[in-house]
């Protein structure tokens, strides 16, 4: 199906995501609770007429991505934290994906590296550009600051109710000679670090995504699955959200059963290999001769 008919929804989602990103910058403060900030941001998305396309991620310092508050999360923002807020908004499945790095310390250069890399990459986005060229400019910009891009994290395509589809948008020159096509919707997300430039798989994140539909015998798992299908379809969600609807025992047993059956995939938290500090910037773009950055303010 063509994305064309939904461009309006993609643009609406982008506008909400941009406003929410500004809201996040105001509420993330030293001594503030990560769980409270997360819930406020998710509520703000709904207030503005959108739905979260995935749980708000707030990854601190050496964690590059996929940390989202758990139901009893006690994390408090501290002096010197670098907080990456990754925001997803959807309207009828049309997703906007954007991220910002909030500096509670002295990481201004590291954040500038990711932000400038994103700006330089966005300048190149149009039909016919080679994917490797986008990766190359991200890599060069970050290296010019004396930092490393994270090589094994990349931007991605977006489709209805899907956050990670083709094409893969690398943060380095990966030799991919494929070109961007008109009307593709992509998220570009440079990550910069003073570490090794690699992420590894960390602890389970409690963020899940529906992978395969198949029958399941266990009754509470079945109930959970039908709620997930209806409420989130193929978009990521987390245990915290389910705990607002179902009791802890049903959720915990249901999720582990569904994961074991391969029906759900659970994301891992992604720390930097050498525990380097990581910054991130991200926008969503509709590829055109005059590309549209949906998540611009």
Active site residues: 86, 97, 156, 164, 189, 282
- Could you tell me the two tokens for 147? 């930092």
CA atoms within 13 A on the CB side of 257: 18
Distance from C-alpha of 275 to C-alpha of 283, rounded to nearest angstrom = 25
Closest CA to 55 of 260, 231, 285: 231
Q: Pick the closer one to Co ion by CB: 9 or 97.
A: 97
Q: Pick the closer one to Co ion by CB: 225 or 278.
A: 278
Q: Pick the closer one to Co ion by CB: 159 or 189.
A: 189
Binding residues for Co ion (CB under 5 A): 97, 187, 189
Q: Pick the closer one to Co ion by CB: 187 or 258.
A: 187
Residues in the chain: 297
Closest CA to 178 of 157, 199, 149: 157
The three-state secondary structure class of 12 is helix
Distance from C-alpha of 155 to C-alpha of 176, rounded to nearest angstrom = 14
Distance from C-alpha of 212 to C-alpha of 100, rounded to nearest angstrom = 32
Q: Pick the closer one to Co ion by CB: 115 or 189.
A: 189
Q: What are the start-end ranges of the E strands in the chain?
A: 51-52, 57-60, 63-65, 82-91, 94-103, 148-149, 155-159, 162-169, 185-188, 191-193, 204-210, 237-238, 264-268, 270-271, 278-280, 283-286, 292-293
Considering the complex, what minimum distance in angstroms separates the CB of residue 282 from Co ion?
6
């Amino acid at each position: 199906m063509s994305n064309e008919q939904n461009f309006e929804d993609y643009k609406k989602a982008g506008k909400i995501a941009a406003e929410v990103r500004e809201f996040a910058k105001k509420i993330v403060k030293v001594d503030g609770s990560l769980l409270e900030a997360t819930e406020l941001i998710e509520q703000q998305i709904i207030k503005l007429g959108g739905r979260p396309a995935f749980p708000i991620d707030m990854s601190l310092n050496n964690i590059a991505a996929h940390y989202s508050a758990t139901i009893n999360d006690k994390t408090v923002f501290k002096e010197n934290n670098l907080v990456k807020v990754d925001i997803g908004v959807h309207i009828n499945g049309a997703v906007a994906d954007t991220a910002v790095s909030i500096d509670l310390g002295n990481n201004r250069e590291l954040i500038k590296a990711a932000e400038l890399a994103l700006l330089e990459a966005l300048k190149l986005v149009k039909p016919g550009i080679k994917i490797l060229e986008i990766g190359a400019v991200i890599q060069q910009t970050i290296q010019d600051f004396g930092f490393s891009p994270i090589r094994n994290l990349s931007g991605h395509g977006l489709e209805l109710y899907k956050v990670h589809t083709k094409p893969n948008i690398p943060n380095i020159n990966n030799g991919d000679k494929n070109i961007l096509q008109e009307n593709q919707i992509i998220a570009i997300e440079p990550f910069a670090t003073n570490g090794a430039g690699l992420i590894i798989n960390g602890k389970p994140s409690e963020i899940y995504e529906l992978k395969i539909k198949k029958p399941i015998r266990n009754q509470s798992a079945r109930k959970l699955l039908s709620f997930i299908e209806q409420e989130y379809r193929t978009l990521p969600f987390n245990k915290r959200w389910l705990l607002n609807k179902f009791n802890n025992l049903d959720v915990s047993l249901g999720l582990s059963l569904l994961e074991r059956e391969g029906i759900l995939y659970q994301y891992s938290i992604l720390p930097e290999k050498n525990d380097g500090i990581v910054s991130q910037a991200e926008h969503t773009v509709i590829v055109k001769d005059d590309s549209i950055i949906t998540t611009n303010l």
